[in-house]
A and B are shown apart, each in its own frame.
Chain A
C-alpha cells in the first residue's frame, strides 16, 4: 500500500475516535451550559421539549424513557445481574409440604439468561447513548431559541423525516431487522464459544457457565480422548482446497462455455444458453438429491459403469476393491464426485455472468489487436481475461467465501449416505468430506455440542475475513461507486 493510502487510513481511524470524543464533549457542554429545562431533561427526557413548546415530541420521548426504564427494572436488570455466572439454581424436584407433592423449583435457565442478558445489556447501552444524544439535542434547541431562530413544530419534524432525514425512515426497520436477526444472534453465539454449553450442560435441566478460552484450546488439541485438533486440521485443509477448486473450476469452466456459445461460428446461441440455464433452474435440493441417488452404490450410474466395463477396469487397476464404484461413500471418490457435481451446478451461473461481460468487451480493442497480428489465444489471454478479472474480481472473492460456506452441496449429497471409517474423525463427529460449516451443523443438530460449534463458526469467520481483507487490499483497488454516473 502506498504511503498516501496508509495515512488516509490512519486519518479515518483518528476521525472515528475524534467523533466519539466530540460526542462526549458535546454532552458535557450541554450539561454545563444548559438552562433549567435542559438540566431537568437529564431526568425527565421530554422536559427540554416541553419548555420550547414541542409538546408532542416531549410526550413521545418521555413515554419512550418510561418504557425503557420499566423494561430494564422488571426484565433487564435481573437477567444482566445473572450474566456473571449464568445462573446458580439447578432445576430439581422439591417437595412442597403445602400441596404434599414434588414440584419443580424456581430454577435458572442459563440459555435464557445469556440471551436476554445480552439483549438487555445492548439495549441499555443504546438507551444511554440515546439519552445523551437527547440532552445534546435539547441544548441545541435551547441555543436556537436564545438566538431567536425558528424551532421546528412537530409537523415540520415529521416532514423532515420524509426529506433531509429520509434515510432514518428508510433505514429504521431494515436495520432493526438486521440487529434482531443478525447482530444479536451473532453476539450470543460468540458468547457461547466461551461457555461449556454442550450435551452435558443442556438447559433447562442443567446449567452452563463461562469457561474462558478452554474451547479454543481444545480445538487445537489432540489426545487419546480429544481429537478435535486432528479433525479440525483435516477439515480446514479440505475446506480451503474445496473452496479453491470449486471456485476455479466453475469460473474457468463457465468462461470457456460462454466463449463456446458466443463464438461467431455457433448457431442458435439462445437455445444453447437456455438449455444450460434450464439445468440450474430446478431447485438445488431437488437436483442434488437426485444426483445422490444417481451416484448411489446401487444406483443407475454404477449399473452403467458396470455394463461398459469401467467397474471391472478400475478393479483390475486396483483403484477400487468393491464390486461397485463408491462414488459418494469412499473419502477420495466422494471428494472427486462432489467437485464434479459442483461443476455441474456452478458452470451455468458463471456462463451467464461471463456472457454478460464478454458482450461488453469493446470490439475496437480486439480489432486493433487482430490488426497487430495477435492470434485468438493471445487476444483471449491479453484482452479477454484481464477484462473479465477486472469486472468479476469482487464476485470471485465473494464466490470463494460462499464456497467455504457451501452447505447445500456437501450436506444434500452426503448426509445419511457417507459414513467415516476414521476413528479419530468420528470421535469428534467429523467426516472426511465435511466442510467447517457442515461439521458445525452436525455438531449442533446431532450432538448438541454448541460450544465447539460456535468456536468453529468463529474460525470460519476469521478465515473468510482474512481472505476477503487480503483480496480486497491487494487484488482489487478503487471505489467504482460513482464511475458510471
Chain B
C-alpha cells in the first residue's frame, strides 16, 4: 500500500513537471530571446549565443520609425485608465439594477443582452468604424475609449452573480432605516463588493492591452505614434521587419507582459468566483 502511494506520487509529479516544462517553454523563450545580442530570430538554438541588454535600451530609449514603444505604452495606458473608469462604473451600475432592483422590463432587458452577445463582435465593429468615421473619431484615442467602454454594460453578468449573493436582509435593514436606493448602493452594497470591484477594474484595465483586432480596425492610419502596444508589436513581426526587430519584439513583450501578468495573477482568484457565478458556496 505504501509503495503504491509513493509510485502514484512520483508519477503525478513527473507528469506535472513535464507539463510545466511544455507550458513554460514559450515564456522562457520570450525572456531569453529578449536578452539576445542578435536582432533577428535565432532558428538553430534555443538560448542566444550572446547576451545583451541592447534590446531593452533600444526599445525604451531609441525610438525609430518602426519601434515607438514608449509612445505606444503611454497611449495604451491612457486608453486603459479611461476605459477602466467608464467600464467599471457601467458594469457596477447595470449589475446593481439587475440584481438588487425589481422593475418592469428587467427580464426582457436581460434576455435582450443575451441575444446581443450572440452576434460576432466584428460585425458591429465594422459599422462602429463607419459611425466613428462619420463623426471624425477614427484614429483617435477618444474613439478607442468609446469603443472599449461603450458597450461595457453588457458584461454585467459576473458582477450580478456576485451581487446576487449579498443577503437581501442587509439591504432591507437599510431601507427600514430610511436609506434611499442610491444610498444603499453606495454605502451598503459597494463596500461589500470589494472582490468583484477589483475583478472588474483589472479585467477592464487589461482590455486595451490585450485587444488586437478592434485597435487594428479603428487605428488604421498607419501612423505609428497613434498605435497601442498590441498593434505596434504586431507590426514589428512583418516579414521584412522580423530579421531586424524580433528580439526587440520579445523585449517589448516582456515589458508589457510583466505588469499584465502580475495583474492577472491578482485577478485569478476572482476569475474563478466570477465564472462559477457565485453558485459555488464558499
The answer to the question of B217 belonging to the interface, with a C-beta cut-off of 8 Å to chain A, is yes
Expressed in whole angstroms, the minimum distance between the Cβ of A206 and any Cβ of chain B is 16
When the two chains form their complex, are residues B182 and A163 in contact, meaning their CB atoms are under 8 A apart?
A: yes
- Asked if B234 contacts A185 (CB within 8 A), the reply is no
Interface residues of A in 67-110 (CB under 8 A from B): none
Do A170 and B256 form a contact, CB below 8 Å, given A178-B116, A265-B5? no
Knowing A266-B13, A352-B271, say if A279 contacts B26 (CB, 8 Å): yes
Question: How extensive is the interface on chain B, given as a class?
Answer: 35 or more
Q: Are B46 and A300 in contact (CB under 8 A)?
A: yes
11 residue pairs from A and B, CB less than 8 Å apart: A166-B181, A175-B109, A182-B116, A186-B119, A283-B209, A283-B256, A296-B43, A344-B22, A401-B118, A408-B212, A441-B213
B12–A266 contact, CB under 8 A?
Answer: yes
Judging by beta carbons under 8 Å apart, are B181 and A188 in contact?
no
Among A27-35, A325-333, A366-374, A456-464, which stretch is in contact with chain B? A456-464
Q: Which of A184, A277, A300, A360 contacts B131 (CB 8 A)?
A: A184
How far in angstroms is the closest Cβ of chain A from B236? 9
Contact of A164 among B8, B165, B181, B210 (CB under 8 A): B181
| Chain B residue contacts of A458, Cβ below 8 A | 123
A473-485 vs B, CB cutoff 8 Å, 1 = contact: the mask equals: 0000000111111
Chain B residues at the A interface, C-beta cutoff of 8 Å: 5, 8-9, 12-13, 15-16, 19-20, 22-24, 26-27, 29-30, 41-46, 90, 93-94, 96-97, 101, 103, 106, 109, 113-116, 118-128, 130-131, 134, 146-147, 149-154, 164-165, 167-168, 180-183, 185, 209-210, 212-213, 217, 230, 233-234, 237-239, 242, 246, 249-250, 253, 256-257, 260-262, 264-265, 268, 271-273, 275-282
Give Cα distance in the complex from A181 to B117, angstroms. Answer: 12
A37 contacts chain B at the CB level, 8 A cutoff? no
**A416 in contact with B239 given A177-B149, A348-B23, A360-B281 (CB within 8 Å):** yes
Chain A positions 188 through 220: 1 when the CB is less than 8 Å from some CB of chain B, otherwise 0: 110010000000000000000000000000000
The smallest beta-carbon distance between A236 and chain B, in angstroms, is: 14
Q: Answer whether A412 and B212 are a contact pair too, CB < 8 Å, given A159-B180, A180-B150.
A: yes
Q: Is A124 an interface residue (CB 8 A)?
A: no
Chain B residues with Cβ below 8 Å from A480 are 277, 279
| Closest A residue, CB atoms, query B20 | A275
A279 B122 Cβ-Cβ under 8 A: no
Chain B residues lying within 8 Å of A21, measured Cβ to Cβ, are none
Q: Are B152 and A177 in contact (CB under 8 A)?
A: yes
Residue of A nearest to B160 (CB): A481
Quote the shortest CB–CB distance from B185 to chain A (angstroms).
Answer: 7
Provide the residues of chain A in CB contact with B183, threshold 8 Å.
162
In the bound complex, residues from chain A placing their C-beta under 8 Å from that of B164 are: 481-482, 484-485
A382-429 residues at the B interface, CB under 8 angstroms: 391-392, 394-395, 401, 405, 407-408, 411-412, 416
Ranked nearest first, the 9 interchain pairs of A and B with the lowest CB-CB distance are A174-B153, A181-B150, A185-B127, A457-B123, A356-B272, A281-B261, A185-B124, A166-B181, A162-B182
Chain A residues, Cβ within 8 Å of B114: 468
Interface hit among A1-9, A125-133, A221-229, A255-263? A255-263
In whole angstroms, what is the CA distance A272 to B20 when docked? 8
Give CA–CA (A37, B260) in the complex, Å: 61
CA distance A40 to B97 in the complex (A): 36
In the assembled complex, the Cα of A163 lies from the Cα of B185 at a distance in Å of 10
Given contacts A170-B96, A355-B272, A461-B120, 18 further A-B contacts (CB under 8 A): A111-B130, A115-B131, A116-B134, A163-B182, A166-B181, A281-B257, A281-B264, A282-B253, A283-B253, A286-B233, A299-B41, A352-B271, A353-B271, A360-B280, A416-B238, A440-B122, A457-B119, A468-B114
Q: Is the CB of A299 within 8 A of B43?
A: yes
Instruction: Out of B46, B97, B119, B278, name the residue touching A171 (CB < 8 Å).
Output: B97
CA–CA, A298 and B24, complex, Å: 22
Kindly provide the distance from the CB of A203 to the nearest chain B CB, expressed in whole angstroms: 10
Question: Judging by beta carbons under 8 Å apart, are A460 and B256 in contact?
Answer: no
Q: Which of A43-51, A53-61, A287-295 contacts B (4 or more CB under 8 A)?
A: A287-295
**In the assembled complex, which residues on chain A have CB atoms less than 8 Å from the CB atom of B250?**
290
- Give bound CA distance, A285 to B29, whole Å: 15
Q: Nearest-CB distance from A70 to chain B (Å)?
A: 19
Cα-based distance from A219 to B257 in the complex (angstroms): 42
A257–B16 Cα distance when bound, in Å, is 8
The reply to whether A173 and B26 form a contact with Cβ atoms under 8 Å apart is no
Select one of A171, A257, A453 contacting B19, CB under 8 A. A257
**Most-contacted residue by chain A among B9, B23, B121, B149 (CB, 10 A):** B23
Bound: A481/B98 CA distance, A: 11
Decide: A285 near B16, CB < 8 A? Known: A189-B124, A394-B277: no
Q: How far is the CA of A185 from the CA of B134 in the complex (A)?
A: 13
B125 near A484 with CB under 8 A, answer no
Residues of A contacting B94 in the complex (Cβ-Cβ under 8 angstroms)? 170-171, 174
Instruction: Report chain B residues within 8 Å CB of A457.
Output: 119-120, 122-123
A231 within 8 A of B: no
Residue of B nearest to A114 (CB): B130
Q: Give the residues in chain B near A159, CB-CB below 8 Å.
A: 180
B260 contact set on A, CB distance < 8 A: 281-283
Q: A285-B210, A484-B164 are in contact. Are A163 and B43 (CB under 8 A)?
A: no
B238 proximity list for chain A (CB < 8 A): 416
- For residue A274, CB closer than 8 A to chain B, the reply is yes
Complex CA–CA separation, A178 to B151 (angstroms): 4
By the criterion CB–CB under 8 Å, are A360 and B20 in contact? no
CB within 8 Å for A286 and B30 given contacts A178-B150, A178-B151, A441-B213: yes
Contact of B127 among A189, A276, A296, A394 (CB under 8 A): A189
The residue from A171, A183, A286, A352 contacting B268, defined by CB atoms under 8 A apart: A352
Is A182's CB under 8 angstroms from B24's CB? no
Q: Which residue of B lies closest to A441 (CB)?
A: B122
Once the chains bind, are B116 and A300 in contact (CB under 8 Å)?
A: no
For residue A453, which residues in chain B have a CB less than 8 angstroms away from its CB?
A: 123, 126
Report the Cα distance A111→B132, complex, angstroms: 13
A444 at the interface (CB under 8 A from B): yes
CB of A444 within 8 A of CB of B126, answer yes
